Amino acid sequence: MSTESKTISPRDNADILAQALPYIRKYHGKTMVIKYGGNAMTDPALQAAFAEDVVLLKLVGINPVVVHGGGPQIETALKRLGKQGHFIQGMRVTDAETMEVVEWVLAGEVQQDIVGLINQAGGKAVGLTGRDGGLIRARKLKLLDQKDPSVEHDVGQVGDIDQIDPSVVKALQDDQFIPVVSPIGFGDQNESYNINADVVAAKLATVLQAEKLLMLTNIPGVLDKSGELLPELTPRRIDELVQDGTISGGMLPKIAGALDAAKSGVSAVHIIDGRVPHSMLLEVLTDQPFGTMIRSH
């Protein structure tokens, strides 16, 4: 960022800031849920840019809530233990031992890294799991086979969200803190559940009545069969892309969550490229179209 700034004239800098003003005004006091994942989580320069973006949004009066994944970090930890990760329809099969690893990687290592980065950038981040304040109550996920719905896959301690109680998130927001949420829920017997982070971000955005849901990925957005970016997606177009296999694997829960949020009243849902430095600021504070927008109709 610093090398770029040197080449921008003071007048251009002023123009850029002036362009951001209507967006700052539009989103002031509004909540934005950000799903943080992919390269943005593992590349040190992108990590720093992400933390700066989150802090800047908070400082101009927007309320960011971060929900993070951690697939690669979980994979690395499991390999160290000699365990091989196994996926069914984009969902990680989670036995009891794997669940232990998921908890200490997500709620320990990954969450605390993000909290530290945001604090280092001048923010006040607080880490939460689904247990804190009864945030995410969950039950065992029933995963039906895509091709044959009469077949149910057992994916272990993978959870489906029963209920989100956002009071702890709201209390932190009101107190100038930035919540960082690990996608771990708890059940009736206090058992832990690994929940897809895209699903948590989408449900949380709905419950908080967020103005925007931003999902950071490792691609420019949703691409068609020939690799072209699709700037907008409707439910009908999404169905077509799932049927022909364009949307598959880990993209399935992401798109399903995004569509649910859009249908439930989240004004704007965007899938954006987390590999671009400051991609969130480009999306939120400029009029440059960026990534793929999911529409409810």
What digits encode the pLDDT tens for the residues 121-179? 999 999 999 999 999 999 999 888 888 889 999 999 999 999 999 999 999 998 899 99
Query: What is the arithmetic mean of pLDDT over 81-98?
Result: 87
Q: What is the CATH number of the domain that holds 58?
A: 3.40.1160.10
14-51 in b/e form (b: 16+ CB < 10 A) is eeeeeebeebbeebeeebbbbbbbbbbbeeeebbebbb
Q: What angle do CA 85, 86, 89 make, to 5 degrees?
A: 135
Q: 211 is written with which tokens?
A: 């103005």
- pLDDT tens-digit series, residues 38-77: 778 888 999 999 999 999 999 999 999 999 999 889 989 9
Are the C-beta atoms of 263 and 256 separated by less than 8 Å?
A: no
Q: Note the residue count of the chain.
A: 297
Q: CA-to-CA distance for 224 and 222, rounded, in angstroms?
A: 7
Whether 193 is covered by a domain: the verdict is yes
Q: What is the pLDDT of residue 267?
A: 86
Whether 208 is covered by a domain: the verdict is yes
How would residue 3 be classed by pLDDT, with cut points 50, 70 and 90?
very low
Are the C-beta atoms of 290 and 282 separated by less than 8 Å?
A: yes
- For 116, the domain range is 29-213
Q: What is the pLDDT of residue 4?
A: 45
Q: 247 is written with which tokens?
A: 């949307």
Question: Is residue 5 scored above 70 in pLDDT?
Answer: no
Q: CA-to-CA distance for 181 and 204, rounded, in angstroms?
A: 10
Whether 243 is covered by a domain: the verdict is no
Can you say whether residue 107 is alpha, beta or left, with left for phi > 0 and alpha for psi between -120 and 50 degrees? Answer: alpha
Q: What is the pLDDT of residue 1?
A: 46
Question: Is residue 221 scored above 70 in pLDDT?
Answer: yes
Total domains in the fold of the chain: 1
Whether 163 is covered by a domain: the verdict is yes
Q: CA-to-CA distance for 256 and 262, rounded, in angstroms?
A: 10
Which residue in this structure is represented by tokens 């929900």? 67
Q: 25 is written with which tokens?
A: 């005004």
Which residue in this structure is represented by tokens 């700034």? 5
Question: Is residue 258 scored above 80 in pLDDT?
Answer: yes
Q: 186 is written with which tokens?
A: 């708890």
Q: What is the pLDDT of residue 23?
A: 92
DSSP 3-state helix, strand, coil percentages of the chain (rounded to 5)? 45, 25, 35
Question: Is residue 278 scored above 60 in pLDDT?
Answer: yes
Whether 147 is covered by a domain: the verdict is yes
Whether 93 is covered by a domain: the verdict is yes
Measured between its terminal Cα atoms, the distance across the chain in Å is 38
Q: CA-to-CA distance for 34 and 32, rounded, in angstroms?
A: 6
How would residue 6 be classed by pLDDT, with cut points 50, 70 and 90?
low
214: number of CA atoms within 13 Å, CB side? 28
Residue 191, φ and ψ in degrees, nearest 5? -75, 155
Query: Any binding-site annotation on 39?
Result: no
Strands 178-181 and 159-164: unpaired
Q: CA-to-CA distance for 245 and 261, rounded, in angstroms?
A: 22
Are the C-beta atoms of 220 and 279 separated by less than 8 Å?
A: no
Whether 48 is covered by a domain: the verdict is yes
Q: Answer with the residue of higher pLDDT: 6 or 64.
A: 64
Which residue in this structure is represented by tokens 């709201």? 170
Whether 97 is covered by a domain: the verdict is yes
Query: Any binding-site annotation on 92?
Result: yes
Nearest CA among 264, 258, 260 for reference residue 293: 258
Whole-prediction pTM value?
A: 0.90
Nearest CA among 65, 74, 83 for reference residue 107: 74
Query: Any binding-site annotation on 70?
Result: yes
**Percent with pLDDT over 70 in the chain:** 98
24: number of CA atoms within 13 Å, CB side? 12
Query: What is the arithmetic mean of pLDDT over 99-110?
Result: 95
